[in-house]
């Protein structure tokens, strides 16, 4: 197991280099650069002279060959220096350090509810395959799946956010403007709508995964054997079938890791939440190269670790899979 882990961790280094190189090349080849952005959206006459532009480019080393720039970036990465954002003058790590917990908190809560609701729905659908209940949940979940979150979010703000109609949800940020200190109830209250918006669309995929996995297992011989030896339906489903059908769900969890870290631009923007999605979106709009690179790197590392963790969990859930014994 230890050698397996070491090998996987070492393999992450070339993968990371590949990911960052591709990202680096793409953002530098994309048209537009920080200099154009620095000219400002609301243009004032001659906010940047040719001389100022040249100086700016030199300060950001924009005129060096791309590989040299990339080499410089990798080199400073070795000392864990992600650089500073040209726009805000703050270090990249500081900004990610603020945004990541927010996004992971919301995403984690959303995922929790997705599995809390999605798994039982999937099991029920599978057990009563083809029944009315199965078809109804399928329909409802797919309707939810097809509703874009920007639309639902806007409707929620307009109809539930006070003002003209019901006043049931807070519409801005994660805390009330007058909140003092650590108002945990206030935070939960503000988080409900974003969490629901983040979660509802994923219900469909989770319950589908669960349903398919369950259906496959339910047809297995050992389930028939369990039934044949007279076990109650409950014991058959929850003891024999369920455990074995959890493996595909694990790979689904692995797929959700980037979502957990990357956040949602739409929901975060609608509700003014300072998360990773907004941070990345802003960084791209303003061609904030060091910030883009920093976020991609952190996201890539965390995603790879997440995938590694799910792979390790396979071995825990399924005794047939063993990484140590394979020689």
- Start-to-end C-alpha separation, the chain: 11
49, 79, 146, 180: which one contacts another protein (CB under 8 A)?
49
Residue 274's contacts (CB-CB under 8 Å, 6 or more residues apart) are 98, 99, 102, 174, 268
245 near another protein (CB under 8 A): no
104 near another protein (CB under 8 A): no
107, 122, 161, 294: which one contacts another protein (CB under 8 A)?
161
Among residues 64 and 98, whose Cβ is nearest to another protein? 98
Provide the minimum distance between the beta carbon of 154 and another protein in the complex, in angstroms, as a whole number.
6
33, 64, 216, 311: which one contacts another protein (CB under 8 A)?
33
Part of the chain binding another protein (CB under 8 A), chosen from 157-165, 193-201, 290-298, 311-319: 157-165
Provide the minimum distance between the beta carbon of 202 and another protein in the complex, in angstroms, as a whole number.
20
Among residues 164 and 327, whose Cβ is nearest to another protein? 164
47 near another protein (CB under 8 A): yes
126, 127, 141, 157: which one contacts another protein (CB under 8 A)?
157
**Backbone conformation region of residue 318, classed left if phi is above 0, alpha if psi is from -120 to 50, else beta:** beta
**What is the phi/psi pair of residue 15, to 5°?**
-60, -45
Provide the minimum distance between the beta carbon of 143 and another protein in the complex, in angstroms, as a whole number.
7
Residue 153's contacts (CB-CB under 8 Å, 6 or more residues apart) are 193, 197, 266, 267, 270, 271
210 near another protein (CB under 8 A): no
45, 78, 184, 228: which one contacts another protein (CB under 8 A)?
45
Among residues 120 and 163, whose Cβ is nearest to another protein? 163
128, 135, 239, 243: which one contacts another protein (CB under 8 A)?
135
20, 84, 202, 297: which one contacts another protein (CB under 8 A)?
84
What's the rounded Cα separation, in Å, for the pair 16 and 33? 24
Q: What angle do CA 259, 214, 326 make, to 5 degrees?
A: 75
* Number of amino acids touching another protein (CB under 8 A): 59
b (16+ CB within 10 A) / e for 226-237: beeeeeeeeebb
Among residues 85 and 303, whose Cβ is nearest to another protein? 85
What's the rounded Cα separation, in Å, for the pair 216 and 186? 44
What's the rounded Cα separation, in Å, for the pair 168 and 180? 21
Q: 269-288: which residues touch another protein (CB under 8 A)?
A: 269-274, 278, 287
Part of the chain binding another protein (CB under 8 A), chosen from 153-161, 202-210, 218-226, 307-315: 153-161
DSSP labels, 266-299 = HHHHHTT--SHHHHHHHHHHTT-HHHHHHHHHHH
CB 179 within 8 A of CB 222: no
61 near another protein (CB under 8 A): no
Q: Where do we find the tokens 């500081």?
A: 94
Give the ranges where 128-220 is alpha helix by DSSP (H): 132-146, 149-160, 184-199, 202-218
What's the rounded Cα separation, in Å, for the pair 251 and 313? 10
Provide the minimum distance between the beta carbon of 24 and another protein in the complex, in angstroms, as a whole number.
18
Among residues 82 and 271, whose Cβ is nearest to another protein? 271
- As a dihedral over the C-alpha atoms of residue 306, residue 95, residue 20, residue 2, rounded to 10 degrees, the angle is -30
43 near another protein (CB under 8 A): yes
- Which chain residues interact with another protein by CB under 8 A? 31-33, 35-52, 55-56, 59, 84, 87-90, 98, 132, 135-136, 139-140, 143, 154-155, 157-158, 161-164, 167, 171-175, 177, 269-274, 278, 287
């Amino acid at each position: 197991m230890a050698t397996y882990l070491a090998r996987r961790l070492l393999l992450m280094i070339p993968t990371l280099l590949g990911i960052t190189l591709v990202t680096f090349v793409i953002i530098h080849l994309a048209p537009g650069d920080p200099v154009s952005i620095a000219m400002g959206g609301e243009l004032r006459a001659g906010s940047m002279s040719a001389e100022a532009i040249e100086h700016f480019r030199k300060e950001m080393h924009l005129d060096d060959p791309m590989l040299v720039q990339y080499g410089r970036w990798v080199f400073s990465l070795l000392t864990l220096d992600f650089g500073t954002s040209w726009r805000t003058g703050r270090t990249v790590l500081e900004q990610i350090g603020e945004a990541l917990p927010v996004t992971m908190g919301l995403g984690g809560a959303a995922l929790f509810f997705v599995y809390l609701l999605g798994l039982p729905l999937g099991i029920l659908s599978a057990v009563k395959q083809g029944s009315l209940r199965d078809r109804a949940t399928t329909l409802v979940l797919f309707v939810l799946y097809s509703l874009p979150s920007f639309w639902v979010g806007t409707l929620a703000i307009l109809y539930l956010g006070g003002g003209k109609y019901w006043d049931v949800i807070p519409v801005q940020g994660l805390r009330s403007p007058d909140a003092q200190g650590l108002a945990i109830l206030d935070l939960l209250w503000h988080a409900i709508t974003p969490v629901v918006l983040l979660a509802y669309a994923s219900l469909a995929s989770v319950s589908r995964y669960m349903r398919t996995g369950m259906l496959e297992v339910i047809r297995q011989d050992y389930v028939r054997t369990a039934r044949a030896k007279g076990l109650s339906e409950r014991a058959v489903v929850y003891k024999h079938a369920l455990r074995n059908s959890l493996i595909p769900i694990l790979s689904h969890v692995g797929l959700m890791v980037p979502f957990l870290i990357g956040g949602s631009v739409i929901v975060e923007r609608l509700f003014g939440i300072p998360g990773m999605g907004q941070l990345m979106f802003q960084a791209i709009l303003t061609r904030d190269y060091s910030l883009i690179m920093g976020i991609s790197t952190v996201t890539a590392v965390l995603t790879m670790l997440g995938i590694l963790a799910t792979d390790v969990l396979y071995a825990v859930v399924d005794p047939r899979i063993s990484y140590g014994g394979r020689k």
